[in-house]
């Protein structure tokens, strides 16, 4: 068994980062001391399948990664959070864990956003993460399922070179695939048999938290998890393409301050000082961005649950997250750090996943997307971004003309900075090197 230091070093050297969300470097989380490590198998976004497919096909690796996380952080308890509706999977996982008392399974409700780490920590342990805080503030480390799979691979000496992605929606064959990091999104969508709608709109990250893909030549990164393909006229693609000035002014003109968006906000339900309805009121009254009341937006987790809640289909979530991003750009710091208690009505204001799927007009796309080794033309080119994670970008360590093999280091962590190294995901020749990206073409 490896020592804590060996685990941290292996995870750092392999470039393991959060395989979804913001891409936090995993070795940093592994240096903390925790009581509990929670494996986040909540499968938060509607229609995503990656976590479930990994647990079906690679449970031993995920469990080994969870144990490594527990050893590294000194946590005596490991919890595997899985939606309770997946009965067969839970039976299979219980068999895998038979005889061990260090890891238990928490059966999660089928709500959105069950995978938000603060929601998950409360659902599993009834601990409330403080405003602006992290799960470690209440003794927990939360890890994504694919991240734990990558941790196990790192301990076998394998760096992160591939990514699991669900492609679903208006495609011929919804599927979950494993592809080299750096291939184009166009190549990934083709693995689902191509699109079934003219002029598709693709949300990278899913229906709730995903962003519109503006260029299909963009490369897959360590954070790419789901490509949701939608018709151009689908309500979600229309909403996401709406310019900010339009949804801001629609809200100013039509919001009746009914408070439902705030009632349904999962962070407000933790007692945190985020109130999307108030942000609209402030916008309407012309309050400057720097007003202290605006700062509540910094507690927004960008889940867009409040968009679902709004009875007149406004976009309070987009308003909140844009204000938050403005505040961050302005260099303002979150002033809220209170320890809070959950709203006593929290559990009555949760969003059932089936209702969300229906409300978003996604029911017809709610189909299996099994992990499949889809035949494909050879991957001939990858573009490896130097920043696929939170922190400093990696610094290139190769030059044009170098021959590299899959797994070779091509970008290293800048000395003294927090970041993650980047590795070649195919064999080939380095064709271009910039501070932003390295391009490798197959031999």
Site residues (vs ligand SF4, CB under 6 A): 251, 255-261, 265, 267, 274, 276-277, 280, 300-306, 309-310, 312, 314, 316-317, 320-321
Asked if 314 contacts 254 with a C-beta cutoff of 8 angstroms, the reply is yes
HSE on the CB side for 93, CA within 13 Å?
29
What distance separates the 2 farthest-apart alpha carbons in the chain? 62
Structure tokens at 227: 């490509």
> 284: left (phi > 0), else alpha (psi -120 to 50), else beta?
alpha
Cβ nearer to ligand SF4, comparing 292 with 442: 292
Token reading at 294: 């605006």
What number of residues does the chain have? Answer: 443
Nearer to ligand SF4, 151 or 314 (CB): 314
Comparing CB distances to ligand SF4, the nearer of 307 and 388 is 307
395 pairs with which residues across the strands?
Answer: 412
Q: How far is the CB of 155 from ligand SF4 (least distance, A)?
A: 35
Cβ-based nearer residue to ligand SF4, 155 or 323: 323
Sign of the CA dihedral with 116 first, then 422, 416, and 329 last: negative
Alpha carbon 264 to its chain centroid, in Å, reads 21
Supply the minimum distance, in Å, between the C-beta of residue 252 and ligand SF4: 10
Whole-angstrom distance, CA of residue 257 vs CA of residue 56: 45
Name 396's Cβ contacts closer than 8 Å, sequence gap at least 6. 386, 410, 411, 433, 434, 435, 438
Task: Select 118 or 150, whichever has its Cβ closest to ligand SF4.
Answer: 118
Q: How far is the CB of 273 from ligand SF4 (least distance, A)?
A: 11
* Residues 153 and 183: beta-carbon distance below 8 Å: no
Rounded Cα–Cα distance for residues 202 and 192 (Å) = 13
User: What's the min distance (Å) between Cβ of 168 and ligand SF4?
Assistant: 23
Q: Minimum Å distance from CB 369 to ligand SF4?
A: 25
Q: Which is nearer to ligand SF4, 215 or 341 (CB)?
A: 341
Given a contact cutoff of 8 angstroms between Cβ atoms, the answer to whether 280 and 316 are in contact is: yes
> Which tokens hold the place of 22?
């913001």
What 3-state DSSP class applies to 202? Answer: strand
- In the complex, least distance from residue 52 CB atom to ligand SF4, rounded to whole angstroms: 24
CB of 81 to ligand SF4, least distance (A): 20
Cβ distance to ligand SF4 smaller for residue 229 or 309: 309
Shortest distance, CB of residue 283 to ligand SF4, whole angstroms? 11
Backbone dihedral angles phi then psi of residue 164, each to the nearest 5 degrees: -95, 130
Closest approach, Cβ 253 to ligand SF4, in A, equals 11
Closest CB to ligand SF4 among residues 213, 283: 283
Q: Which is nearer to ligand SF4, 61 or 131 (CB)?
A: 131
Nearest alpha-carbon partner for 334 in 382, 361, 299, 367: 299
């Amino acid at each position: 068994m490896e020592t804590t230091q060996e685990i941290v070093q292996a995870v750092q050297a392999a470039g393991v980062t959060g395989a979804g969300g913001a891409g936090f470097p995993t070795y940093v989380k592994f240096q903390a001391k925790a009581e509990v490590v929670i494996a986040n198998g909540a499968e938060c976004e509607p229609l995503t399948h990656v976590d479930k497919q990994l647990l079906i096909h690679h449970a031993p690796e995920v469990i080994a990664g969870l144990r490594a996380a527990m050893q590294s952080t000194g946590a005596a308890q490991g919890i595997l959070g899985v939606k309770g509706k997946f009965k067969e999977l839970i039976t299979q996982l219980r068999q895998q864990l038979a005889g061990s008392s260090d890891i238990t399974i928490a059966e999660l409700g089928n709500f959105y956003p069950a995978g938000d780490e603060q929601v998950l920590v409360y659902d599993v342990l009834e601990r409330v993460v403080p405003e602006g805080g992290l799960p470690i503030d209440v003794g927990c480390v939360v890890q994504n399922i694919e991240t734990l799979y990558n941790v196990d691979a790192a301990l076998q000496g394998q760096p992160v070179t591939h990514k699991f992605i669900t492609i679903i929606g208006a495609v011929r064959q919804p599927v979950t695939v494993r592809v080299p990091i750096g291939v184009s999104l166009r190549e990934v969508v083709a693995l689902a048999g191509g699109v079934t709608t003219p002029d598709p709109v693709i949300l990278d990250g899913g229906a709730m938290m995903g962003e519109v893909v503006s260029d299909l030549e963009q490369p897959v990164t360590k954070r790419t998890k789901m490509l949701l393909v939608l018709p151009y006229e689908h309500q979600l693609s229309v909403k996401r393409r709406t310019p900010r000035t339009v949804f801001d002014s629609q809200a100013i003109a039509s919001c009746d301050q009914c408070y439902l968006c705030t009632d349904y906000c999962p962070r407000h339900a933790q007692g945190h000082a985020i109130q999307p309805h108030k942000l609209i009121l402030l916008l309407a009254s012309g309050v400057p961005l720097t007003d202290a009341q605006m700062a509540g937006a910094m507690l927004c987790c960008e889940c867009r649950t409040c968009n679902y809640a709004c009875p007149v289909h406004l976009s309070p979530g987009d308003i909140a997250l844009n204000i938050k991003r403005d505040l961050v750009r302005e260099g303002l710091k979150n002033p809220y750090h209170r320890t809070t208690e959950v709203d006593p009505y929290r559990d009555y204001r949760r969003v059932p996943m089936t209702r969300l799927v229906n409300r978003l007009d996604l029911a017809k796309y709610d189909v299996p997307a099994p992990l499949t080794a889809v035949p494909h033309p050879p991957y001939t080119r990858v573009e490896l971004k130097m920043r696929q994670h939170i922190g400093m970008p990696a610094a290139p360590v190769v030059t044009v003309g170098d021959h590299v093999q899959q797994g070779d280091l091509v970008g290293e962590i800048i000395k003294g900075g927090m970041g993650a190294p980047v590795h070649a995901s195919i064999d080939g020749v380095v064709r271009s090197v910039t501070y932003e990206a390295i391009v490798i073409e197959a031999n």
